[in-house]
Amino acid sequence: MKRNLDTVRKLLELAEAQPAGQPVMTFSGSFENTPVEVVEHIQLMIDAGLIEGEAYTDPKMERGGIFVISNLTWAGHDFLNASRNDDVWNTTKSRIAKAGSWTFGLVLEVLKEETKRRIGL
């Protein structure tokens, strides 16, 4: 499975929209990934320190497995805030696509650069 930045962003938005103290245990909306891949992205996001929770994939389950996103971490909030503006987000994705490969740290740095450029820094 390849990482999908749009899936990461959408899952962070979903987690942020939850009322405090209510974990995310289902997802709705359209994802470019299969349900199993969405659950695998949740596990990657836990591993990367963007969210706290648990995820177990099961291809036999309609939802791709079982997961709980208990909350966003500070890093998750930072990434979501940096990617919130659609123009900044799309420009960032375009710039990293030119490189052919990327790391999560690089994506965050490009997001920051684009934001700084737009505010004149």
What tens digit of pLDDT does each residue of 39-76 get?
999 999 999 999 999 999 888 887 788 888 999 999 99
In this prediction the pTM is: 0.88
**So what's the pLDDT on residue 66?**
85
The count of domains in the chain is 2
Residues whose CB is less than 8 angstroms from the CB of residue 107 and which lie 6 or more positions away in sequence, other chains included: 5, 92, 96
On whether residue 78 sits in a domain, the answer given is no
CA-based torsion, 29, 30, 35, 39: positive or negative: negative
Residue 44, in any domain of the structure: yes
Q: Alpha-carbon distance 99 to 112, whole Å?
A: 17
**What is the C-alpha separation between 104 and 45, in angstroms, rounded?**
10
Q: Are 44 and 65 members of one domain?
A: yes
Does one domain contain both 43 and 93? no
- Tell whether 80 is covered by a domain: no
**Which range of residues forms the domain containing residue 56?**
5-72
List residues bridging with 24 in a β-sheet.
Answer: 69
Give Cα 83 to chain centroid, integer Å: 10
Same domain, 66 and 37: yes
98 and 64 assigned to the same domain = no
**36 and 68 inside one domain:** yes
